[in-house]
Structure 1
Amino acid sequence: MFTIGDFANLGRVSVRMLRHYDSIGLLPPAAVDPRSGYRYYTAAQLGRLNRVIALKDLGLTLEQVRVILDDAVALPELRGMLRLRRAQLEAQLAADTARLSSVEARLHMIETEGRMTSQDVVLKEIPPVRVAELSAVARSYDGADIGPVLTPLYPELFRRLDAAGVRPVGPALAWYDPADDGEAVVVHAGIGVEVGPTAAHDFSVVDLPAMTAATTIHHGSMDSADLSLQILARWIEENDWRTDGYAREMYLEYWPEEADKGVTELQLPVRRA
């Protein structure tokens, strides 16, 4: 058997924690010296300790953990609970990472206020273009909500195009429409094609109309695109135009694993005031 200190080291917990588990009947020692009061544990008890820690990490109270373990939850069921919690934590981590990127982008915008220039904005007549596209709904137009929805659409679209024997032409595009549900937006991922719409395809083929747009070239990750949109906003205001919808994004250079190398033309539709 092991002393409480040795058992704590083996289980990677504190002695204080083991004493607390003993006091509430969650993990009593295998033996207690009647003269010294020293607690002793067996190697077999590490299994119960591992379950205690795992269930506690699921967010259960220690009383709930005790009830579950005393009811002898089966190993497959416990494994399923842990996998579910792992998936929840991974999703939360991804969301928090996206939010952090958004906060950093906003901070960068604040730090560069007063140094932005609208000299690189170009007014263009964007011709109509036929594209194959897939769409989904994002909770809002915030970059942290757009990215996780938009990014997976492109590999899936390319897979479907390849299966259909359709060759893409030109750079990839993204555009947005308001959804019916509050702040939500419909996210469209597309790329130019030279085929017409048909029910035989598992993707849509649409014709994007011509538009007058204020455009600028954005360098780097789309997490920082708000800065370029502010430059467009300043130019539009200075030249007495009005915006007419969300900006269209044309990905001139796209690096899935190195977003900072990206080059994107932002095309914001405008009309005369």
Structure 2
Amino acid sequence: MLTIGEFARRGRVSVRMLRHYDATGLLRPARTDPTTGYRHYTADQLDLLNRVVALKDLGFTLNQVKEIVDGRVGVDRLREMLRGRRAELEAVVAEATARLARVEVRLRSIESEGHMPEHDVVVKSLPAQRVARLSAISRSYAPEDIGPVVSPLFMRLCDLLADAGISMAGPGIALYADAGGGAVTVHAAFPIGDGDGADSAGGAGLEGGAGRDGGFEVVELPAVERAAVIVHRGAMDGVVPTAQALERWVDAHGHRADGYPREVTLEAPERLADWVTELQLPLVVSPDHARSS
């Protein structure tokens, strides 16, 4: 027979853990000396110990492990338990991945602080555009809140336009407006031709109005006399450093922003790191500039 120390070494566990397993009834020693209280195990018990360790490593509680090793859990129930653990672990991984992405964004923001070349930003006018638009509310303007709202909007709008037989006349545009209480109205839009949308199922009678039954609306985006424009390369969950660089440029050059930047998707390949998006921040036009233009 093996002493508790020998059994612990062979099983790659601590003596303290074996004592705990004994106390909970999960793994009893083969013999306990009635005089000294010393525990002794057999080599055959290593199989049970290995199974306990493997189940614990999967994240099961000691009570669940005991039910399994005692044979009180059938195959169907074990399959259900494993699927539950898989779902829990997937959620943990997703949360950790999102947190890692935020850490990367913060690192990029710190590393790029104050190093934005002026030629990366240009000021230009934006023409008026007729667009088909679908809207929803995001609880905040943070990328982690915007992403889950704007992506489904664009996918839904693509489907609605296809069903209505309307062709997109330009790249997708994301627009934002305050909705109160920190929330933001998110608009997903595509430019369309002058003759499109008036008689479509998704946009019938919607010129300047709200969509019906989840349909889109057709509106005219007004022209913008002056907008500060910068190009962001990569996934939109990493857009914060680019947007902050744009805002610093606006402040440094004595301008004032007029609302949120428009986000125009210039290139959207399958690999998110290769996306190219233009941020267009409308500027407040000063009276002097208005008179001279």
Bin for the TM-score computed over the shorter chain: 0.7 to 0.9
Instruction: Give aligned pairs, total.
Output: 260
Q: Cα distance, 1:131 vs. partner?
A: 3.1
Which residue is equivalent to 1:218? 232
Residues 182-221 of structure 1: pairs in structure 2 closer than 5 A: 182-193=181-192, 194-196=196-198, 197-198=203-204, 202-212=214-224, 213-221=227-235
Check 1:152–1:5 CA distance in 2 against 1; reply closer, same or farther (3 A cut): farther
Q: Cα distance, 1:50 vs. partner?
A: 5.8
Give the residue type in structure 2 aligned to 1:188: H
Q: What's the CA shift string for 1:92-151, capped at 9, x where partnerless?
A: 322332232222222222222232123332333323333334444444322233334433
Q: Distance in 2 between matches of 1:262 and 1:238?
A: 28
What RMSD, in angstroms, separates the aligned Cα atoms of the two structures? 3.9
Which stretch of structure 1 is more off in the superposition, 101-110 or 183-192? 183-192
Q: What's the CA shift string for 1:216-252, capped at 9, x where partnerless?
A: 2223333442233233223322443321222110001
Q: What's the CA shift string for 1:57-116, capped at 9, x where partnerless?
A: 15x4x3576579879455545544443443343233223322322222222222222321
Contact 1:160–1:202 under 8 Å retained in 2: no
Q: Distance in 2 between matches of 1:85 and 1:135?
A: 36
Gaps of 5+ in 1: none
Q: Distance in 1 between matches of 2:105 and 2:117?
A: 18
Which residue is equivalent to 2:277? 264
Check 1:192–1:22 CA distance in 2 against 1; reply closer, same or farther (3 A cut): farther
Contact 1:137–1:186 under 8 Å retained in 2: yes
Which residue is equivalent to 1:95? 95
Contact 1:214–1:268 under 8 Å retained in 2: yes
Which stretch of structure 1 is more off in the superposition, 183-192 or 199-208? 199-208
> Of 248, 255, 269, which residue of structure 1 is paired with 2:269?
255
Contact 1:130–1:205 under 8 Å retained in 2: no
Does residue 244 (structure 1) correspond to residue 251 (structure 2)? The answer is no
Percent of aligned pairs with the same amino acid? 40
Q: Distance in 1 between matches of 2:234 and 2:213?
A: 34
Q: TM-score, normalised by structure 1?
A: 0.73
Q: Secondary structure at 2:256's aligned position in 1?
A: strand
Which residue is equivalent to 2:3? none
Q: TM-score, normalised by structure 2?
A: 0.69
Which residue is equivalent to 1:41? 45
Residues 1-273 of structure 1: pairs in structure 2 closer than 5 A: 8=11, 14=13, 17=17, 20-28=20-28, 37-39=40-42, 40-41=44-45, 53-54=57-58, 57=59, 60=61, 62=62, 66=66, 72=72, 75-180=75-180, 182-193=181-192, 194-196=196-198, 197-198=203-204, 202-212=214-224, 213-257=227-271, 259-272=272-285
Q: Secondary structure at 1:216's aligned position in 2?
A: strand
Q: Cα distance, 1:43 vs. partner?
A: 6.4
Q: Cα distance, 1:265 vs. partner?
A: 1.0
Q: What's the CA shift string for 1:197-216, capped at 9, x where partnerless?
A: 23677431242531432212
Contact 1:99–1:144 under 8 Å retained in 2: no
Q: Distance in 2 between matches of 1:116 and 1:168?
A: 34
Check 1:170–1:101 CA distance in 2 against 1; reply closer, same or farther (3 A cut): same
Contact 2:131–2:220 under 8 Å retained in 1: yes
Q: Cα distance, 1:188 vs. partner?
A: 3.0
Q: Secondary structure at 1:272's aligned position in 2?
A: coil
Contact 1:136–1:187 under 8 Å retained in 2: yes
